Structure 1
């Protein structure tokens, strides 16, 4: 039944997109039919699912995962990282011994290394580095701070295994981007050595969803404020929405390593990306904001069939390598050395 419902949603979204474009043209000037239909499908699928029990949402999202050409080119290995189930994505030829610690998105309710496998594989191939993806606990069964605890455990495991913190770069998308920033803050406060930096995609850093773009871009993106607030409630589990380690927009960001923030101009989280970048800069953090015109949330995950996704992933790889190279220049040789 789930597969048939998903297929019916896809057909309706595609037909609706075709009719709308014939009458009024593309929803955004630069959108192809394939891109617009994909966004329409994802939004319709979210509208169909978000009020259902969390296990059903996860099952539907997992069903959409496919084995892609990028996934066939990397080696995947399951590992218990500090007691947290995780997956290594390793390219056939490594360019160094640095590690990308990637935190998947999914509103803290769904998602896994499997749902994000294609992107993780493309990051490994594009950087020549190993990518470690924790399968952290999800809400509502495991509300905040379970996800933060799991990520800290994985990071400490990496350090205890002999990986230098300066050879680690955090990355993540959406909720995972927010979680990456929260983990930096928590690690700093606990005295844990910080990684070289972080590269995040559309970080969800304000669980009150107070940015104007949440409503301004609702007509274009594949979610809306009601969905975000529903998932945020599950994640918070009674914690205040302004808790700094849940909504890092309200955290003290001073002393954090360099940040690269990627956002689409047509996405709900656009203002989250802008505001967290501005706050980081105000706190003395080296922060770069990469705005992608006309792009929606997490467009980098759309796959190699979309030129926009390919360009976005290429830039992510450049920024991951930049963070590590800058850390190497500051600390001396080693980060980009042979495995």
Structure 2
């Protein structure tokens, strides 16, 4: 564990987690993430961003063709996190630009409606529409990687279960610290309450109210841990061992393996939730994104 990651974990625990614990509304969470994105998230040079009006809209991200041309016909469909109440394609643009640089593959980050204004299943519907828009543009399912972090990873696994049932699986799936179980039955929810660097465990029920309302938290479309996956494609899951959501990743990997899927799990002993977004600040973030890139390139070979 590098000195920089140790410092990032310390600062997250002392500043970010208390801020999230005290935030009075989803709007406060959104402002916090947007400020962090503008100030702290670093993009590689020569990144190219193009707005899209496909589906609910979004952002196309690639390296500039003159510097690092993307592979034609290949795509990463990346769904941003933010607890279902915050985040946007712009907040995650820097990390996705690094993924585009490392993989040589263009990235599309769709926009989706956020709770509590638009609770479940609005975001799920928007991500399905984004998939349909990508296919309508001529991408084949076997040439697309589904990827996402935290809440975004939840949404891609909900989509994956449907695609597997329809026989239209993507080439692979990448999940960074997924939230997969809104019943919060994983042991790490309690075991890691003190070691979690970023997410305040005491607000989990409030998140359920904002996102699900009266909807059953065990619904497989809301909690993909309980979904059925038919012949799933290769999956990469990354998380930190000290996270609240550690066991969501552990158990989801086992569900996918039991369904016959190949699952690669990469873990770090102590790191903030979705530490990969701090690429350019801590070496472990680049190591993690390099692991993602290697997996993507193998799936799209």
Could you state the TM-score of these two structures normalised by the residue count of structure 1? 0.82
Alignment equivalent of 1:48, drawn from 22, 26, 30:
22
CA distance in 2, matches of 1:160, 1:279: 31
Once the two structures are superposed, residues 26-83 of structure 1 have per-residue CA deviations (whole angstroms, 9 ceiling, x without a partner) of 9x9995334422343221221121xx2222321232122227652552110100122x
Q: What is the Cα deviation at residue 288 of structure 1?
A: 1.6
5+ residue gaps in structure 1? 1-25, 326-339
5 Å-filtered alignment, 1:280-319, equals 280-319=256-295
5+ residue gaps in structure 2? none
CA distance in 2, matches of 1:111, 1:265: 24
Q: Which shifted more, 30-39 or 255-264?
A: 30-39
8 Å Cα contact 1:178-1:203 kept in structure 2:
yes
8 Å Cα contact 1:215-1:224 kept in structure 2:
no
Q: Which shifted more, 259-268 or 71-80?
A: 71-80
Once the two structures are superposed, residues 107-137 of structure 1 have per-residue CA deviations (whole angstroms, 9 ceiling, x without a partner) of 1111111111221111111111111001111
Match of 2:180 in 1: 205
Q: Does 1:193 align with 2:168?
A: yes
Q: Does 1:88 align with 2:70?
A: no
SS of 2:182 mapped into structure 1: coil
CA distance in 2, matches of 1:168, 1:178: 18
Number of residues paired by the alignment? 295
SS of 1:81 mapped into structure 2: coil
CA distance in 2, matches of 1:149, 1:206: 19
Match of 2:32 in 1: 60
Alignment equivalent of 2:119, drawn from 129, 139, 143:
143
8 Å Cα contact 1:109-1:139 kept in structure 2:
yes
CA distance in 2, matches of 1:128, 1:281: 29
5 Å-filtered alignment, 1:25-174, equals 32-49=6-23, 52-66=24-38, 70=43, 72-82=45-55, 84-92=56-64, 93-97=68-72, 98-174=74-150
CA distance in 1, matches of 2:294, 2:262: 17
Calculate the aligned-residue CA RMSD, in Å: 2.0
Q: What is the Cα deviation at residue 192 of structure 1?
A: 6.3
CA distance in 1, matches of 2:203, 2:69: 40
Pair 138,192 (structure 1): closer, same or farther in 2 beyond 3 Å: farther
8 Å Cα contact 2:70-2:106 kept in structure 1:
no
8 Å Cα contact 2:18-2:200 kept in structure 1:
no
Pair 135,44 (structure 1): closer, same or farther in 2 beyond 3 Å: same
5 Å-filtered alignment, 1:257-276, equals 257-276=233-252
Q: What is the Cα deviation at residue 245 of structure 1?
A: 0.7
SS of 1:230 mapped into structure 2: helix
CA distance in 2, matches of 1:29, 1:116: 24
Structure with more contact order per residue of length (Cα contacts < 8 Å, sep ≥ 6): 2
SS of 2:270 mapped into structure 1: coil
8 Å Cα contact 1:261-1:288 kept in structure 2:
yes
Pair 253,239 (structure 1): closer, same or farther in 2 beyond 3 Å: same
CA distance in 2, matches of 1:302, 1:289: 20
Larger CA Rg, structure 1 vs 2: 1
Could you state the TM-score of these two structures normalised by the residue count of structure 2? 0.92
CA distance in 2, matches of 1:80, 1:178: 23
Once the two structures are superposed, residues 207-258 of structure 1 have per-residue CA deviations (whole angstroms, 9 ceiling, x without a partner) of 1111111121121211133222211221112210000011001111222211
